[in-house]
Chains A and B, each alone.
Chain A
Amino acid sequence: MALSWRFWFLAPMVMALATVVLFPTVYLFWMSTQHWLVTDPQRFFVGTDNFQRLLAGADFWQALRVTAAYLVLSTVIMLGLGLGMALTFARAGRGWMRAIVVMPLVIPPVVAGFTWRFLLNGEIGFLGAWLLPAIGLELNPLAEPRAALVSVVIADVWSRTPFMFLILLAALQSIPRDFYEAARMDGANPFHEFFFITLPLLKGALFVAILFRIVDAINTFELIYVMTRGGPGRATQILSIFGWRTAFQELDFGQAAALGVVLLFICLAGAMLLFRRFVQRDLEAGA
Chain B
Amino acid sequence: MSAPRRYGRWLALIRAGFLGVVFVFVVFPLVWLALASLKTRAAALEVPPALVFTPSFEAYEKIFASGLVGAFANSLTIALTNVALSLAIGLPAAYALARMRGAVQQNLSFWVLSIRLAPLFSIILPLYVLFKALGLLDTRIAVAMAHLTLTLPLAVWLLMTYFRAMPVDLDEAAMLDGAKRWQTLLLVIVPISRPMIASVAVIVFIFSWNEFLLAFFLTARDAQTVPVVVAGLAGTMSFDWPLIAAISIGSMVPALIFVGFAQRHIVEGLASGAVK
Judge whether A219 and B123 touch: CB under 8 Å: no
A231 to B167, CA, bound (A): 54
Given the interface pairs A24-B127, A105-B270, A275-B113, the reply to whether A111 lies near B118 with Cβ below 8 Å is no
A100-B23, A106-B255 known; A5+B96 contact, CB < 8 A: yes
Does chain B have a CB within 8 A of A139? Answer: no
| Contact assessment for A167 and B275 in the assembled complex, using a CB-CB cutoff below 8 Å | yes
CA A12 to CA B105, docked complex, whole Å: 16
Cα-based distance from A92 to B13 in the complex (angstroms): 13
Residues from 12 to 53 in A contacting B, C-beta threshold 8 Å: 12-14, 16-17, 19-21, 23-25, 27-28, 31
Query: Which of the listed residues B29, B30, B85 has the most CB atoms from chain A within 10 Å of its own CB?
Result: B29
Q: 8 Å CB contacts to A: which residues of B139-166? A: 145-146, 148-149, 152-153, 156, 164
Name A96-112 residues within 8 Å CB distance of B: 97-111
In whole angstroms, how far apart are the Cα atoms of A126 and B129 in the complex? 43
B234 and A219 form a contact (CB under 8 A): no
Beta-carbon contact of A283 and B47 below 8 Å = no
Query: Does A253 sit within 8 A of B, measured CB to CB?
Result: yes
In the bound assembly, the distance between CA atoms of A14 and B112 in angstroms comes to: 9
Q: A190-B7, A271-B118, A279-B113 are known contacts. Are A20 and B148 too (CB-CB below 8 A)?
A: yes
**Cβ-defined contact, B182 with A5, below 8 A:** yes
Asked if A16 meets B119 with Cβ closer than 8 Å, knowing A167-B274, A170-B275, the reply is no
- Are A111 and B15 in contact (CB-based, < 8 A)? no
In the complex with contacts A10-B97, A28-B125, A106-B259, A17-B25 CB distance below 8 A: no
Q: Are A24 and B130 in contact (CB under 8 A)?
A: yes
Instruction: Report yes or no: B97 in contact with A212, Cβ–Cβ below 8 A.
Output: no
Contact B4 A247 (CB under 8 A): no
- Residue contact B26 to A158, C-beta cutoff 8 Å: yes
Is the CB–CB distance between B231 and A222 below 8 Å?
yes
Give chain B residues whose Cβ lies under 8 Å from the Cβ of A189: 3-4, 7
A226 interface residue per 8 A CB criterion:
yes
A143 interface hit (Cβ, 8 Å): no
Task: Report Cα–Cα, A21/B108, bound state, in Å.
Answer: 14
For the complex with contacts A9-B96, A24-B126, A130-B49, 18 further pairs of A-B residues with Cβ separation under 8 Å are A9-B185, A19-B145, A31-B126, A108-B230, A111-B227, A119-B29, A130-B48, A158-B26, A167-B275, A170-B276, A184-B4, A219-B119, A219-B213, A240-B213, A253-B129, A260-B119, A271-B118, A274-B117
